[in-house]
A and B are shown apart, each in its own frame.
Chain A
């Protein structure tokens, strides 16, 4: 056995960038904004090494539209930003969804609204999971809670984007992006540099634009003026979304069999919630945790299943309460749902969550 270490330390932002490269991403366009700057910085160094393209765009709008073009040309493409920048990208994300183009968008969330601050937050949940831009569309949203999971979900994001021809959002926060954690050595072999790597080899894209040689011209569009044409296009999109809902729900459950109180949290918040759960259980309070991994599609089933059996769900978020709305929809009025959250870059502590648990347990 090799003496080489199996794990190494890396920040969340850099890990996401390298994971994207390993997943075959060969186009990245971005714009500086804290706390995600390590992603473009890393990409600027790494992309040329693997024959890919890095562009520091003049704006978030330009960045997402460059990704739109690169994706249409058949390459795995990604952009990243943080909350205010993601707001600017919404137009492009809507066009990606409307044209059914795959792309990965990383949002390392910070406090809002407005310029807010640069501290970790989870206040873009609505924007990410409910559409975000104009029109009836959905993005698949994946929420890692560790740096290792950020690596795994970034790779998954590219596969899902291609599989469904749909934008996928990796939703992290400033804590996840900035902190260093050990991750397993990337398993994929180092890719040789060169032009041939620009194209994604994982999937034959019969819609990509490459020039109409020996085939009919291809048109990528989201404008449909004929009567009923757009409605049919939208029905096809909705059918796709139903398929995603039936196949791509992901969550992690802890102590769901015997708990009276179930905490619900995702991303960074889930790590704190898990600690609170452990401590509560050490005091004999039966507490469990549901950690949604896919925020859209939202993993509703475990909530409904547990609704008759438990005393209370306690949703904990680094926001004023956003995911709680999906939890309430999931329980269909059959369970009480409480909330505890903080905003503006403050993270609810283990002690604060324990206090809430104690109040409920009385």
Chain B
């Protein structure tokens, strides 16, 4: 075997070497990793305080080697505001799902953004409530079948998929909004860049930064992992266009 092999890929230091509880093909593991890579590269691990959401990712602290706190469903950004105002020298971020950020926590999301709090938000949009059994999320696509839209989401009854990132982008208090996805290695590289940018902005004191990540839930989409990734690309990203919104 050749010596002095160059190492191209390894587990981020701030991520524990541990199997996750996520389903096969779930995007959370990838996104957790991207956060840890950004944290390592920016050398901010010792300053980070993470807010774990209610949802599948509530146990994120089982995988992250930095300070963490749970927030009540939807209240992550209020909790983050309290922490950051007390400890402006720390790097505070929330990790929130679509139900958390765009349904039960909509008020907290909009007002924290509007105050221009110097925070980083990683918003995971997988178009369903995963932990509770695949119910309709605010971001569920029209026609998409879920546990609570058995005939598919119909805007006459359930309204339209909520484009909250677009809504946030028009607020004066918001510095940075980008929508990315984890549907392919190329997209993951772009997602990583955006996540790192959102943390860099906080380090630089620039204000509210949010990255929406289109992610997969093969279990409640009723798809195989590969199919799910293709669905993000071919269906979901059409309704939620990728790219920088602000």
Q: Which of B61, B70, B75, B91 contacts A92 (CB 8 A)?
A: B75
Within the complex, which residue of B61, B65, B83 is in contact with A73, where a contact is CB–CB below 8 Å?
B83
Question: Given A62-B78, A65-B78, A69-B78 in contact, is the A209-B85 Cβ separation under 8 Å?
Answer: no
Question: From B115, which residue of chain A is reached at the shortest CB distance?
Answer: A55
B231 CB–A CB distance under 8 Å: no
Which of B68, B79, B80, B91 has the most C-beta atoms of chain A within 10 angstroms of its own C-beta?
B79
Q: How far is the CB of B55 from chain A (nearest CB, A)?
A: 11
Cβ–Cβ < 8 Å partners of B78 in chain A: 57, 61-63, 65-66, 68-69
Report how far A302 CA is from B82 CA in the complex, Å. Answer: 42
B166 on interface, CB distance cutoff 8 Å: no
With beta carbons under 8 angstroms apart, the residue of B45, B66, B67, B80 that contacts A69 is B80
The distance in angstroms between the C-alpha atoms of A62 and B84, with both chains bound, is 14
Q: Could you tell me if A212 and B45 are in contact, using CB atoms closer than 8 angstroms?
A: yes
Question: In the bound complex, do residue B80 and residue A221 qualify as a contact, i.e. CB atoms below 8 Å apart?
Answer: no
| Contact (Cβ within 8 A) A72 B69 | yes
The reply to whether A53 and B85 contact each other, CB–CB distance below 8 Å, is: yes
**Chain A: interface secondary structure?**
mixed
A213 located at the interface, meaning its Cβ lies under 8 Å from any Cβ of chain B in the complex: yes
Pick from B46, B48, B64, B87 the residue with the most CB of A within 10 Å.
Answer: B87
Q: Which of A65, A70, A213 contacts B46 (CB 8 A)?
A: A213
In the complex, whether B170 has a CB less than 8 A from a CB of chain A is no
Please encode chain A, from 24 to 62, with 1 for each CB lying within 8 Å of some chain B CB and 0 for all others. 001101000000000000000000000001010111011
| Contact A27-B85, Cβ < 8 Å, known A65-B79, A69-B80 | yes
Q: Which of A65, A71, A75 has the most CB of B within 10 A?
A: A65
Interface: A99 (CB within 8 A): yes
Query: Do A53 and B86 touch across chains, with their CB atoms under 8 A apart?
Result: yes
> Quick one: closest A residue to B70, CB to CB?
A221
Q: Counting CB contacts under 8 A, is B58 at the interface?
A: yes
B100 within 8 A of A: no
List residues of chain A with CB within 8 A of the CB of B90: 73, 209-211
Using Cβ atoms and an 8 Å threshold, which residues of chain B touch A217? 61, 64-68
In the complex, whether A74 has a CB less than 8 A from a CB of chain B is: yes
Also in contact, A77 and B66, with CB within 8 A (given A65-B108, A211-B49, A219-B61): no
Q: Which residue of A lies closest to B52 (CB)?
A: A221
Cross-chain contact A223 with B67 (CB below 8 angstroms): no
Of A55, A74, A77, the most chain B CB neighbours within 10 A belong to A55
64-98 of chain A: CB within 8 A of chain B: 65-75, 77, 91-92, 95
Q: How far, in whole Å, are A58 and B113 apart by their CA atoms in the complex?
A: 12
Determine the distance from Cα of A221 to Cα of B66 in the docked complex, in whole angstroms: 14
In the complex, chain A residues whose CB is within 8 Å of the CB of B64: 217
Check if A219 sits within 8 Å of B75, measured CB to CB: no
> What's the minimum C-beta distance from B146 to chain A, rounded to whole angstroms?
24
A residues whose Cβ falls under 8 Å from a Cβ of B = 26-27, 29, 53, 55, 57-59, 61-63, 65-75, 77, 91-92, 95, 99, 198-199, 209-214, 217-223
